């Protein structure tokens, strides 16, 4: 399972994202994302180019509130050339924008609402959304499992995994080693963390951002060992 470090706090890209990018790259993180609010377009462009030039994979997550704003964000993603676009629910129209650019699109499934985003929907509707997204050419989905208001997060992840052939990314409120383990065991391919690292809530007894990121990476490694033990004969 891959850890995607988000250069974001409270659903906004941090203003010193370029400095933070250098710090997490030095630790060994190579999947790095940002959101389309908090900094201007020129900073987004520089972040994307730096991530890719240094051998990483870039992600942009859409948090715009209206369909028109989401599509505008998709156009920005296509123009700057990110590797992966996360979020939004205007699947067919977004695919028209990014489908020929080589960008892998992972829309939100369920019913995301508000800002910060909360997620409505049950396992059945999430599974239906997953199948629909893949039928429209998406590379996978972005699931805000721990922002769920109606369902058990792990149940949502398991339901999405069972209905999806592509990549399952779990985003939002993953703030402990236990949640990393549960996300991995439920079948996610990747997860995102931003605020929990910047706020120090992932490893509350440590203060430095680098320490938070190192502990997240350690949790990923531990979850992989745990999964291997469970499948061993």
Q: What is the pLDDT of residue 230?
A: 65
pLDDT category at 164 given cuts 50, 70, 90 is: very high
According to CATH, the topology of domain 2-231 is TIM Barrel (3.20.20)
Q: Which residues contact 14 (CB under 8 A, 6 or more apart)?
A: 7, 8, 20, 38, 39, 198
**Quick one: pLDDT at residue 64?**
77
Each domain of the chain, given as residue ranges in start order, spans 2-231
pTM for this structure? 0.95
* Two tokens, residue 199: 């706020």
Q: In whole numbers, what is the pLDDT of the chain averaged over residues? A: 94
Model pLDDT for residues 44-88, shown as the tens digit of each residue: 999 999 999 999 999 999 987 788 989 999 999 999 999 999 999
Instruction: Write the pLDDT tens digit of every residue in 93-111.
Output: 999 999 888 999 999 999 9
- What are 187-203's pLDDT values in tens digits? 999 999 999 999 999 99
Task: Name the more confident of 25 and 150.
Answer: 25
């Amino acid at each position: 399972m891959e850890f995607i470090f988000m250069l974001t706090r409270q659903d906004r890209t941090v203003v010193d994202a370029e400095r933070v990018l250098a710090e997490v790259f030095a630790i060994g993180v190579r999947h790095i994302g940002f959101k389309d609010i908090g900094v201007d377009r020129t900073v987004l462009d520089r972040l994307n180019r730096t991530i890719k030039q240094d051998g990483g994979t870039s992600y942009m997550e859409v948090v715009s509130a209206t369909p028109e704003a989401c599509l505008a964000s998709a156009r920005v993603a296509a123009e700057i050339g990110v590797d992966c676009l996360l979020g939004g629910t205007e699947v067919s129209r977004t695919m028209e924008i990014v489908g020929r650019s080589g960008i892998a699109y992972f829309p939100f499934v369920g019913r995301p609402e508000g800002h910060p985003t909360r997620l409505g929907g049950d396992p059945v509707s999430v599974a239906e959304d997953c199948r629909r997204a893949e039928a429209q050419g998406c590379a996978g989905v972005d699931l805000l499992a721990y922002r769920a208001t109606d369902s058990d997060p792990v149940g949502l992840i398991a339901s999405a995994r069972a209905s999806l052939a592509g990549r399952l990314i779990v985003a939002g409120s993953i703030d402990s080693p236990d949640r990393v383990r549960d996300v991995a065991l439920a079948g996610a391919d990747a997860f995102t963390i931003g605020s929990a690292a910047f706020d120090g809530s992932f490893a509350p007894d440590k203060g430095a951002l680098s320490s938070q990121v190192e502990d997240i990476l350690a949790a990923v490694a531990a979850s992989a060992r745990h999964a291997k033990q469970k499948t061993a004969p």
